[in-house]
Structures are given as C-alpha cells and as structure tokens.
Amino acid sequence: MTDERHNASIRIQALHPQYAEEAAQWASRLGLRQDGEADFALQLGDGGLQLVELGDKAPGPVRVDFVEGAAAHRRQFGGGSGQMIAKAVGVQSGIRPRILDATAGLGRDAFVLASLGCDMTLIERQPLVAALLEDGLQRAALDLEVAPIAARMRLLTGNAIELMRAWQGEAPQVIYLDPMFPHRDKSALVKKEMRLFRPFVGDDLDAPALLEAALALATHRVVVKRPRKAPAIDGAKPGYVLEGKSSRYDVYPKKKLEGA
C-alpha cells in the first residue's frame, strides 16, 4: 500500500508465527503487502496491532490501549465530569448525551466520554487508524473493568461527511469534531503520532463541509475541538467557546440537553 499523495509505503508484519494467519487477514482487508521494502509497518504481535516507522532513528510504535497507560490514568484520575470536554458536550447531573465522534482518530476522547457513561458512535475514515482502533476496542472488551466502557463505543469506518448525510436511524444528540490540524501540542506522544500518521492522513481540508453536515444531523449541539489560537472552522459561528491552556472547544448549540 502506497499513499500516492505522500508516497509512503507500508507493509504488514506478523511479529510471531502464530499471528501469520491473522496478519494475512488484515493484509487482505487493508490491501497491504506482507513483504518487501517499506517506510512503515503495521505489526501484529502479543500486544495487538501497532504502527511503526521503519528505520534506525524512527520513534517507537503507536497502538491503541484503553486498558493500561494513559487511558487508564485518565479514567481513574482525569477529573470525571468536571473535565472541559465533558462540559463541552453537555455532560452534567442526570444527562449523558448520545454522541457521534465523527473524527475518532485513536479514540482517546471518545473513550473518556464513554467512561463517563455516554453512548458513543465513532467514525474514522483512514483505514490504518480505524484498524488500530478496532483492535484496541477488541482487546478492551476482554478486560473486566474496561469492557463495559468499550461496549458503549461503536466504530464505523468511512467518510464522515457521507455517513452523516446518509444517516439512518436515531440521530445523535451531540456531534464531536476534532479535525486534523497542525497541532501546537508539544508533547512527545503527540509529536510521535503526528509523524507517524501525517503521511497517511494529512490535514482535514474538508472541515467546513464536515461542520455543515454535523450541524444538519445533530439534534442538540455540535462541538469542535481546536488548538487554542487557531481560527474557527469556516461557516457557522460558534455560540460560545470553552478555552483551555492549549486547546479550546467551539460549541454550536441547537437545543437544550435535558435529563431522562
């Protein structure tokens, strides 16, 4: 698989022989080759799927882990419903909105909201990122503590604009957007992930259409996460803004959220 825009080649690799059959299945699903020279590798091993840049000075692999590490720490010590993202989407006493995360990425924000009790639908359009997310959700479902949270997360793969325009069934109350953008976050983790994914993902140049489709579908509000000093997405203006140290949430209210 080569991304023609960025000329980045990738292969899939089983780290142990027992994963060869499953790696072949992923290769078929994603259209990846299993041998030859490549810039990146999607590897399958004891820890599940991971994406790694090949080369001597490349950063370490990236994988989705909802059970341990940063996700576990934030689940236990992240501030609960007092977090700014929770306030932005309307989580409050007796209110846990149905949320569509239309730019799911590695699922961190969706997992936070699911851990607070929100039913989440996730859309990820980049097949490699969606594969990592699917694998992480499958492993989370095997953990007794995290399984109930993972059960509140439903993953769809495809173009979010098209999926929202053709939406079937009950509409989400809240739609959450975090378009790819030249992020100002200086953390080592984000730098590593941006280096790995930008060759395949690029920037979201269709963010205005994404916002327009979200506003047409959401019943109660749309929330857009932005770097703190970045301009708002072209189109409708946010009703209000919640601002943090490095990022902010532009909130587009449509109707008041009320408890069951």
pLDDT (tens digit, 9 = 90+) per residue, 135-176?
999 999 999 999 999 999 999 999 999 999 999 999 999 999
How far is C-alpha 200 from the chain's CA centre?
Answer: 15
The mean of the pLDDT values for the chain is 88
Do residues 26 and 32 make contact, with C-beta atoms less than 8 angstroms apart?
yes
Instruction: Convert the pLDDT of each residue in 26-58 to its tens digit.
Output: 999 999 999 889 999 999 999 999 999 988 877
Regarding whether 38 and 159 lie in a shared domain, the answer is no
Closest among 120, 118, 93, 121 to 259, alpha carbons compared: 93
Do residue 19 and residue 148 come from a single domain? no
Kindly report each contact of residues 146-151 with a partner whose C-beta sits within 8 Å and lies 24 or more positions away, as own/partner.
146/66, 146/67, 146/75, 149/66, 149/75, 149/111, 149/114, 149/115, 150/66, 150/114
* Most confident among 46-60, 194-208, 210-224 (mean pLDDT): 210-224
248 among annotated binding-site residues: no
CA-closest candidate to residue 214, choices 177, 250, 255, 170:
177
Which residues, in sequence order, are bridge partners of residue 42? 12, 51
- Is 134 annotated to bind a ligand? Reply is no
CB 175 within 8 A of CB 217: yes
Residue 109 among known ligand-binding residues: yes
For 15, the domain range is 2-53
121: CATH: 3.40.50.150
We report the CATH number of the domain holding residue 31 as: 3.40.1630
* Cα distance between residue 225 and residue 103, in whole Å: 10
Helix axes 127-140, 188-201, angle to 10 degrees: 130
Domain-embedded: residue 61: no
Whether 187 contacts 162, CB under 8 Å:
no
How many residues in total does the chain contain?
260
Same-domain pairing of 37 and 127: no
Report the pLDDT value the prediction gives residue 79, as an integer from 0 to 100. 63
108 is in an annotated binding site: yes
65: annotated binding-site residue? no
When divided into structural domains, the chain yields a total of: 2
- Residue 180 sits in the same domain as residue 225: yes
Pair (146, 205) in one structural domain: yes
